[in-house]
Amino acid sequence: MNWREPIRIFSDPTPAGPVRRGLSIQARVIEALMIREAMGRFGHENLGFFWLMGEPLLLTLGVMIMWKATSYNHGGRVAIIPFALTSYSLLTLWRHVVQRSVRAMRQNSSLIFHAHIRFLDILFARALLETIGIFAAFMIAYVPLALLGYVPKIHDPLALCGGWLLGAWFSFGFGLVLAGLSEISDAAERLVGPVMYISIPVTGAFYMVEWLPPTAREIVMWSPLVNAFEMFRSGMFPAEYIAEWDAPYLALCAFVLTAIGVPLVHYAQTHVEYS
Amino acid sequence: MTERFAAPSPESFLRRYGLHLFTFVIPVMFSGLYFGVIASDRYVSEAQFVVRSSAGVGLDSAAALIQNQGQSRATDENFAVSAYIRSRDALDLLVENENLKAIISRPEGDFLNVFPNFYSRNNKESLFRYYKNMVSSTIDGASGITTIEVEAFRAEDAKTLNETLLRYAEDFVNKLNARARDDALVYSNLQVAAATEELAKIENRFTQYRNEVGMVDAARETASTMESIGRLLLELAKLQANYEETAAITPQSPSLRATQERINSLHGEVTRLRGRLAGGNSSIASRLGEFEKLALERTLAAKTLEQVELSRQKARQEAEQQHLYLQTIVQPNLSDHAKYPRRIYYFVATLLLCFMLFATLRSLTAIAAEHVTR
């Protein structure tokens, strides 16, 4: 790495500057890494990389059936099945993206042998794969349930997709920070598990802000993930069930995490223990 | 890759420092210029009030206490007043009475904060959006106290607007009161009117019947007839005794015939009166039933009227008791310090964000460039 070298962002098209050429190579690398990741994890046996969607799908469906069967009372006005569907989809995204970022650099250090692959590409490819895969799982679960009438029709597709993407961006940013920290310090890595577990209440996966008393609402809305959940749910449920979410705030939090994470990953590249 | 190490050509300044310039130096300069020089002071006037109801003594307040233990919500009226303050209705009133449009386009205002400015349209909708940024109204869930904050380019403006808004809020509360009282009374008024009409109708029917049968009161008529019969019978008994006495002492007395005549006529009178009392179609007894029925109906109607009148009085009392009033806790203040804009805060925020943007882009471009440089 060399920060002193000229950065050509306003370069003329011929010859293309290193950044522009690098970006086009990067795009191809990320694409290839996504396929490699999917194939490497799930292989060609039985369903192949359908398991990318199958895993979250099974989890979500299982929880939905369990809650429905035990008539678990969550205290809200919305039905249990759409609530479980939205909760578990986004929660799975958050957990998968973050967990697959930790130690990702060390695990994949062998790939760096290829000159065109950088650590950020690996992290980005993984996050993108999860984002697409779990959303596909959500849709696969959603369509039949909607046809059977168990879930309401999508109320606001833009909020649904926006909430999903912003949630994914936030998770990716958080993952970047953890990826960088886990290379620099082992202690940071040990903290990830407990922190992820304890942070479940502030994700907003198991409640809707509307159920809470006003004072608690104000506190909880400081959590970016709660905003992401509310935004995602506002795509599904009518506005009367949804607290007022703040997309710019969520984007700002995601941006700040990315702004910490990207330089951190860039810096941590030199600290990776190659195995 | 040899080109990296080529000597920089004269035009490469932008390439070398373009990212620094456009993501950090220039935005921060603009931010410093705006927050340091251009941005106009905005003064805030703050007032606090609470909407209270004079009801809620005794049992009610104990129940309310228990209800409020889990959740501390302000009353519905608090929310209504708070919503009203930030409504189009209040805005229209302000524009009409307080010349709001002049206040928000004062020459002190900077080009971004005045209304209308270069990017907002000069219509009602934009004005309303501006108004909602300018006036805030927050309810404290625990205490139910509402805080209104009005900002303006001049401290006096902010104070005047805040005072006016408080007045509007009070008017609004009074309107709510009038409405509640009217609603409560309308029903009982209707009931009283119906009961009165019913009573008048029965009274009318009674009079008509009296005229029809030529009798004011059957019961009294009966009593007086019985009395006459009694008197006649007494006289008859006296005459009878007199007649028998005379007949025994002087059987040829000429007065005997006259007495006999009187006895006969008295007998006839008694029979006639008895006939009038009972038996036959026009007897008093046959009318007594109808009279009693009408009297009962009249009593019932009078009782109903009394009851309805009582409940109307109660409704009025209740409405008076639940009277809402707006209690101002803190009068609008005249600020001597411009609370907004928070110049240093926003300048530092811009600085940090721009630095983050710059650092991210620099890392990203560096990582992207690493794809070719190795």
In a domain? residue B122: no
A22 touches chain B (CB under 8 A): yes
Residues B304 and B345 in one domain: no
DSSP code, position A188:
H
Give the CATH number, domain containing residue B297: 1.10.287
In a domain? residue B238: yes
The tokens for B59 are 């049992």
Q: What is the largest CA-CA distance in chain A?
A: 66
Q: Which pLDDT score, from 0 to 100, does residue B11 have?
A: 54
Strands B43-53, B146-152: pairing kind = antiparallel
Q: How many CB atoms lie within 10 A of CB A227?
A: 28
How many residues comprise chain B?
A: 374
Residues B271 and B355 in one domain: no
In a domain? residue B44: no
Mean residue pLDDT of chain B comes to 84
> What chain A residue is nearest to B71 in terms of C-alpha separation?
A213
CB–CB of B370 and A22 under 8 A?
A: yes
B349 touches chain A (CB under 8 A): no
pLDDT band at B46 (very low <50, low <70, confident <90, very high): very high
In a domain? residue B367: yes
Residues B257 and B348 in one domain: no
Residue at token pair 């209707």: B190
DSSP string, B291-341: HHHHHHHHHHHHHHHHHHHHHHHHHHHHHHHT-EEEEEEEPPP--SS--BS
> What chain B residue is nearest to A253 in terms of C-alpha separation?
B353
Q: What digits encode the pLDDT tens for the residues B322-349?
A: 778 888 889 998 888 888 888 999 999 9
Q: In 3-state terms, what secondary structure has residue B137? A: strand
Residues B230 and B354 in one domain: no
Backbone phi, psi, residue A207, to 5°: -150, 165
Q: Which residue has the higher pLDDT, B209 or A171?
A: A171
Q: Which pLDDT score, from 0 to 100, does residue B167 have?
A: 93
In a domain? residue B234: yes
Please list every residue in chain B whose beta carbon sits closer than 8 Å to the beta carbon of residue A221.
none
CB–CB of B15 and A19 under 8 A?
A: no
Q: Taking residues A142-149, report their average pLDDT.
A: 89
What is the H or E stretch that residue B136 is in? strand B135-139
In a domain? residue B84: no
Residues B286 and B374 in one domain: no
In a domain? residue B143: no
DSSP string, B2-66: -GGGSPPPGGGHHHHHHHHIIIIIHHHHHHHHIIIIIPPPBEEEEEEEEEEES---THHHHHHHH
Question: Which residues contact residue A250 at a Cβ distance below 8 angstroms, ignoring those fewer than 6 apart?
Answer: A166, A167, A170, A224, A227, A228, A231
A99 touches chain B (CB under 8 A): no
Q: Which pLDDT score, from 0 to 100, does residue A10 have?
A: 47
Q: Which pLDDT score, from 0 to 100, does residue B55 have?
A: 58
CB–CB of A259 and B14 under 8 A?
A: no
CB–CB of B16 and A2 under 8 A?
A: no
Among A7, A120, A213, beta carbon nearest to B362:
A7
> Closest Cα partner for A175 from A135, A207, A137, A128?
A128
Please list every residue in chain A whose beta carbon sits closer than 8 Å to the beta carbon of residue B12.
6
B72 touches chain A (CB under 8 A): yes
Backbone phi, psi, residue B306, to 5°: -60, -45
Please list the residues that pair with B146 across neighbouring strands.
B49, B139
Number of domain units in chain B? 2
Domain residues for B249? 187-321
Residues B300 and B363 in one domain: no
Q: Which pLDDT score, from 0 to 100, does residue B73 have?
A: 45
The tokens for B101 are 């449009």
Residues B354 and B268 in one domain: no
What ipTM does the predicted assembly reach?
Answer: 0.79
Among A115, A116, A262, beta carbon nearest to B360:
A262
All structural domains of chain A with their residue ranges: 18-271
Residues B276 and B194 in one domain: yes
Nearest chain A Cα distance for residue B50, angstroms:
18
Query: Sheet containing B324-330: which strands, arranged edge to edge?
Result: B135-139, B146-152, B43-53, B324-330
Q: Which pLDDT score, from 0 to 100, does residue A11 have?
A: 46
In a domain? residue B131: no
B337 touches chain A (CB under 8 A): no
The tokens for A54 are 């199958």
Give the Cα separation of A37 and B290 in Å (integer). 103
Residues B353 and B258 in one domain: no
Q: What digits encode the pLDDT tens for the residues A69-111?
A: 876 666 667 778 888 888 889 998 999 999 888 888 888 888 8
Identify whether the C-beta of residue A267 lies closer than 8 Å to the C-beta of residue A195: no
